[in-house]
Chain A
Amino acid sequence: MKLLVKYITVCLLLMTAACIKKQAIPPPADNGVASLRDLLANNFSYSMFYSAMKRTSTDSLLDNAGEGYTIFLPDDGAFGRSGISRDSLGKMKVEDLKKLVLYHIVAGRVPTNSIPQIMNHPMPTVEKDFVYASSTSQIATLYINGIAVNKQDVMAKNGLIHVLNQALSIPAASVQDIIAATPEYSVFAAGLKKFGLWDQLKTGNPMVVLAPTNEAYAAYNWDVEAINNMDVREYRKMAFGTNILSPAFFFINDLRIAPPQGPFMQEDVMLISSGSGGGFQRQLKVVPFDWQSPENSLRSVWYGDWVFYPDDQQGQLAVNGVVIRSQTLNVIPDSAKVKTN
């Protein structure tokens, strides 16, 4: 009898576990009925951007009744990934913050399928500077200044929201300004000045600058003083010259969505990317022109090894190009030495 009770209890327990637990069906989403303000005010993960808008009195845009606005909105997580906390956002000067907020807003409704499927398509923001949208037929993700849009086309009655993976930053006046203003590029800046490459960063063709940090140079005992004391005749220009790619304009994610099918030619060397497939597209290496000849087939390192560019460092935008931070050197100083026999 006791055994039977036990048996029945176990059976009943099993039966309760086998039950289908129906969840309460949520009411269908009311797309497009809420206004932009409703969406921002009622969504906690948008609170940092919303508070920034309120602080800069730009939130009146959210109540427009006209053509509407498209907001490339970094949610709170995105601000975190960009190293911006609630505190630091609160301490920003109102003028700067206003510029930053307006740089995330484009006039009119711009759903994803209305953006041309081309690389770095410029779109004017309310702040006047451009944001660059990249998309291809191969990859469904939309990228704004190299930053992925995590959630596309959040519809509102009077606008549209694309949720970004990171916050955008306002383009600097020139590539030179970015390098000059960043302390961790001081060795790189000194090198560019020493080799007469500094002035071209102010104007000229669109360019991509792969900027190694001071730490990267320190690994080879190069600092500002060492560079200022060095004899230019002892080194090839490529010690610093290979860091400037011109004419070129891309962010790191563009290497993934429009993978290079060939090398980027420099004066006497070239840059290769590690091709398509996996996460390896975001690697670049400097090699000589004859790197594929049979006698070189076993060699993998020439002037430097592969330099990997992580996803969270898409590059800082300037009016005349992009500066991409790199933590290792693509040309090791010794290999750029002029050889004398």
Chain B
Amino acid sequence: MKLRKTCFIYLPVLFVLFTGCYKYKEVDLIENPSYMRVFNSVSIEPDIFQGTNISSFFTFLMDPQTEEKNIPVRSATMADFLGTRELYTTSYPLNSGNSSEGHYVVDATGRKVFISTPMNYEYPGNAHVLTAPAINGFDMSAWAQVKSGEHRIVFVARPKNNIPFPELSREIRSTILVDTVVNFTEGEVYTLQIVCRDVDKNQFGLYMRRETFVHQAFEENKNYIGFVNLSGARPKRAQDGYMRVFPEKISINYSFYTHQKAPVKGYYPIEGYNNNFYKTLEKRMDTSISYLTVPLLPREAFFDNDTLRNYYRVDIASTIKPPPTMPFVQFIFGNADNPGSGAKDYGFDCQANGALFNTYRYGLFETVMPSVNKIVSTGNKYRIYSTVNIMEIVYNRVYMMQILRGFNEVPQ
């Protein structure tokens, strides 16, 4: 009797437990992988006077299945709804989490601008694919594994709606902007970007960089920062002085400031890091990066009596905001073709909190960028990491890619 009662209770429970299981198929391993990350570094809107006729919203396809006339249909490696990349990216996917509030950026008036259509800022981003392991001590989870060898790379302009690429009309799928073949070497890390070659003529191209930071030796107590210029031909509007873009040849100087209480409360440059010349970017689409270094400062520079110092608060639009006290690297850009034409053409301070930065977008020519030191609160204490940063200048924007050392093996 007791057994019957027990069976009566437990059997259904066991039944539910066993039938409730769902065994997900394990993703097949990729043999001889290379690692790839894809960005859309185009930021244009249609302009009828200049003849620009598309918006920067694309689909990226690798080795697509095609139908007649070589029109792509679908592919296993695809980044649909690929919008313009965010200004700040890390070496792990930033948009992997979900927001219960939806997708938005906050403009200068404090208004939330919602993005109502699906949107990816990069590939793989939050796609469910195999990603790269930690290489050279860096967390590389923002790079996807792909088979090494030759691949066809296609970028197609797509409308901003919620229709997935394979279901779009043939006519839309045939508006191919970039169609090329690339070769990936086994074990190498590649960053691919669609860039404008000529805005006025609606010409686009692929910029592919084999990342060398996975082979270089980096000191753990230094921050590394490198610049590349990925602008295409100078737009006519910029030549005529109606669009502000970075100069053709960019000279870059940098300083490193800390906040001190004496002699007068304020920022002072660290000795040896006051307005140093870094380099002049003569070439465009350069694939090798030379880094400048600034030291990883001791803990006191980031804390004031054990309290974390203030970032520059990008999340407060009003002019009244807590004064920043965090150390920061400042960059000043000049026109190398016409030096001395102005004391300071343009510059920015790396002084903001990267975690908030992409949400608060006030306009072009940011005067503040995220801090080069990544500060993470974990295990009941703040940890400060030194990073490697690649700054990519595209016409009037600077995209910052911050590569972090693996979190488990970082310096304290």
- Whether the pair B51, A248 counts as a contact (CB closer than 8 A) is yes
Check A258–B48 contact: CB distance below 8 A: yes
Instruction: Assess whether B159 is in contact with A262, with CB atoms less than 8 Å apart.
Output: no
Cross-chain contact A263 with B240 (CB below 8 angstroms): yes
Query: What is the CB-to-nearest-CB distance from B174 to chain A, in angstroms, rounded to a whole number?
Result: 9
| Interface stretch (choices A78-86, A165-173, A234-242, A249-257) | A249-257
- B53 to chain A: closest CB distance in Å? 4
Q: For residue B395, give the distance in angstroms from its CB to the closest CB of chain A.
A: 13
A89 located at the interface, meaning its Cβ lies under 8 Å from any Cβ of chain B in the complex: no
One of A116-124, A147-155, A329-337 at the interface: A116-124
A222 within 8 A of B: no
Q: Which of B6-14, B68-76, B160-168, B257-265 lies at the interface?
A: B160-168
CA distance A255 to B172 in the complex (A): 23
Cβ-based interface call for A228 (8 A): no
256-280 of chain A: CB within 8 A of chain B: 257-265, 270-271, 273
- C-alpha gap A216/B172 in the complex (Å): 43
Q: Which residue of B lies closest to A111 (CB)?
A: B169
Partner of A262, one of B49, B160, B171: B49
Question: B173: nearest residue on chain A (CB-CB)?
Answer: A116
The interface residues of chain B lying within 8 Å CB-to-CB of A137 are 55, 57, 159-160
Question: A117 and B55 in contact (CB under 8 A), knowing A262-B240, A262-B242, A265-B240?
Answer: yes
A205 to chain B, nearest CB (A): 11
B residues 7-56 in Cβ contact with A at 8 Å: 45-55
Min Cβ gap B172→A in Å is 5
- Which of chain A's residues have a CB closer than 8 A to the CB of B47? 258-262
Tell me the smallest distance from the CB of A307 to a CB of chain B, in Å: 15
Interchain CB contact (< 8 A) of B49 among A110, A117, A120, A264: A264
Contact assessment for B243 and A261 in the assembled complex, using a CB-CB cutoff below 8 Å: yes
Q: Is B236 an interface residue (CB 8 A)?
A: yes
**Contacts A118-B46, A137-B55 given; does A265 touch B236 at CB 8 Å:** yes
User: Any chain B CB within 8 A of the CB of A114?
Assistant: yes
Do B50 and A254 have beta carbons less than 8 Å apart?
A: no
Flag whether A12 is at the interface (Cβ < 8 A).
no
Contacts of B236 in A (CB 8 A): 265
The answer to whether the Cβ of B157 comes within 8 Å of any Cβ in the partner chain is yes
Residues on A with C-beta less than 8 A from B48 are 119, 248, 250, 254-255, 258-260
A115 at the interface (CB under 8 A from B): yes
* Residue of B49, B158, B160 with highest tally of chain A CB at under 10 A: B49
**With a CB–CB cut-off of 8 A, which chain B residues contact A136?**
45-46, 55
Contact with A along B54-68 (1 / 0, CB 8 A): 110100000000000
A113 within 8 A of B: yes
Task: Check B237 against A113 for contact (C-beta < 8 Å).
Answer: no
Contact yes or no, A113 B49, CB < 8 A: no
| A247 contacts B171, C-beta separation under 8 Å | no
CA distance A138 to B168 in the complex (A): 19
Residue among A137, A250, A255, A263 having the largest count of chain B Cβ atoms under 10 Å: A137
Q: Closest residue to A114 on the B side, CB-wise?
A: B169
Is B175 at the interface (CB under 8 A from chain A)?
yes
| Closest B residue, CB atoms, query A140 | B161
- A119 to B53, Cβ gap below 8 A? yes
Pairwise interchain contact A114-B242, C-beta atoms closer than 8 A = no
The answer to whether B50 and A262 touch across the interface, beta carbons within 8 angstroms, is yes
List residues of chain A with CB within 8 A of the CB of B50: 260-262
- Cα–Cα distance between A138 and B54 once the two chains are bound (Å): 11
Contact partner of B157 (CB less than 8 A), chosen from A115, A116, A255, is: A116
Cα of A270 to Cα of B47 in the assembled complex, Å: 16
Contact between B57 and A273, CB atoms less than 8 A apart? no
Tell me whether B240 and A117 are in contact (CB under 8 A).
no
Residues of B contacting A257 with CB < 8 Å?
Answer: 46
Instruction: Give B255 Cβ to nearest chain A Cβ, in Å.
Output: 33
Q: Do A273 and B49 touch (CB < 8 A)? A: yes
Instruction: Give the Cβ gap from A112 to chain B, nearest Cβ, in Å.
Output: 10
Q: Which chain B positions have C-beta within 8 A of A120?
A: 53
- Provide the bound-state CA to CA distance between A262 and B238, in Å: 9
Least CB separation from B46: chain A residue: A258
**Complex Cα spacing A254 to B47, Å:** 9
The verdict on A118 contacting B169 (CB below 8 Å), with A258-B47, A260-B47, A273-B49 known, is: no
Q: Is the CB of B169 within 8 A of A119?
A: no
Residues of chain A lying within 8 A (CB to CB) of residue B242: 261-263
Q: Name which residue of chain B comes closest to A261, CB basis.
A: B47
User: Do residues A258 and B45 form an inter-chain contact, with CB atoms below 8 A?
Assistant: yes
Q: How far is the CB of A317 from chain B (nearest CB, A)?
A: 15
Task: Give CA–CA (A119, B53) in the complex, Å.
Answer: 5
CA distance A120 to B202 in the complex (A): 14
Residues of B within 8 A of A110 (CB): 169
**A137-B54 Cα distance, complex, nearest whole Å:** 9
Q: Which residues does chain A contribute within 8 Å of B52, judged by CB atoms? A: 258
Let me know if B49 and A119 touch, CB within 8 A: no
Cα-based distance from A259 to B49 in the complex (angstroms):
8
Q: Mark A100-130, 1 if CB is under 8 A from B, else 0.
A: 0000000000100111111110000000000
A-B contact pairs, 22 of them (CB 8 A): A113-B161, A113-B163, A114-B172, A117-B57, A117-B157, A117-B159, A137-B159, A138-B45, A248-B48, A248-B49, A260-B48, A261-B47, A261-B50, A261-B242, A262-B47, A262-B50, A262-B240, A263-B49, A263-B242, A265-B236, A265-B240, A270-B240
Which 5 pairs show the lowest CB-CB distances between chains A and B?
A114-B169, A137-B160, A258-B46, A117-B159, A262-B242
Contacts from A to B (Cβ < 8 Å): 110, 113-120, 135-138, 247-250, 254-255, 257-265, 270-271, 273
Q: A138-B45, A261-B45 are in contact. List 11 more A-B contacts (CB 8 A).
A: A116-B159, A116-B175, A117-B55, A117-B57, A118-B157, A119-B46, A136-B46, A258-B53, A260-B49, A261-B242, A262-B242
